[in-house]
Amino acid sequence: MYTKPTPAFIGASYCAMSIGMAAYLTGLWRTPSMGLGEKGFYFIVLMYGLYAAISVQKSVRDRSENIPVTDLYYGISWLSTILCISLLFIGLWNANWPVSEKGFYAMAFLLSLFGAISVQKNTRDVAGLHRLAANLPVGDRPLPERSKKP
């Protein structure tokens, strides 16, 4: 069943994603020791990570709502998420930076992923409520009976 997310949770989700992305991207932009290719690598890892995390959230949620999701898509979503997190941590492990800078990038990255998943969850919840209000089917579940007023 869909529940409406509170405005505070919606705002916190957008803030988490925005702050995480802004911190990560500002760090990339302002780091003079990184070459353009290295900055591109970390940028792509962030973008790929955001997409992969949203795909995992969507496929897990679809399955829980009896909406068909192929095993291939479900597996690729998880593999992509694990791969982009692994790429980030391998890159950070091999970087010649202070531990505090590596930690900064790791935390900003993970905050961005968490925020993106939360924003997707909120978007999905609100869309589900709109479908229920319009009396449209969701997945394979029957709609709840509506009381008819005379």
User: Residue 11: helix, strand or coil by DSSP?
Assistant: helix
| Rounded Cα distance, 48 and 41, in Å | 10
pLDDT of residue 134: 77
Quote the pTM value: 0.82
Question: Per-residue b/e over 45-54, b at no fewer than 16 CB within 10 Å?
Answer: bbebbbebbb
Q: How far apart are the first and last CA of the chain?
A: 27
Interior CA angle at 51 toward 80 and 35, to 5°? 85
Please say if the pLDDT value at position 2 is more than 80.
Answer: no
User: Residue 141: helix, strand or coil by DSSP?
Assistant: strand
Residue range 111-125, pLDDT digits in tens: 999 999 999 999 888
Query: Quick one: what percent of the chain has pLDDT higher than 70?
Result: 89
Please say if the pLDDT value at position 139 is more than 80.
Answer: no
Nearest to 3 by CA among 143, 119, 121: 121
| Rounded Cα distance, 72 and 70, in Å | 5
Return the sign of the alpha-carbon dihedral for residues 49, 52, 58, 59. negative
Please say if the pLDDT value at position 131 is more than 60.
Answer: yes
Residue range 62-95, pLDDT digits in tens: 998 888 999 999 999 999 999 999 999 999 999 9
Residue range 33-54, pLDDT digits in tens: 888 999 999 999 999 999 999 9
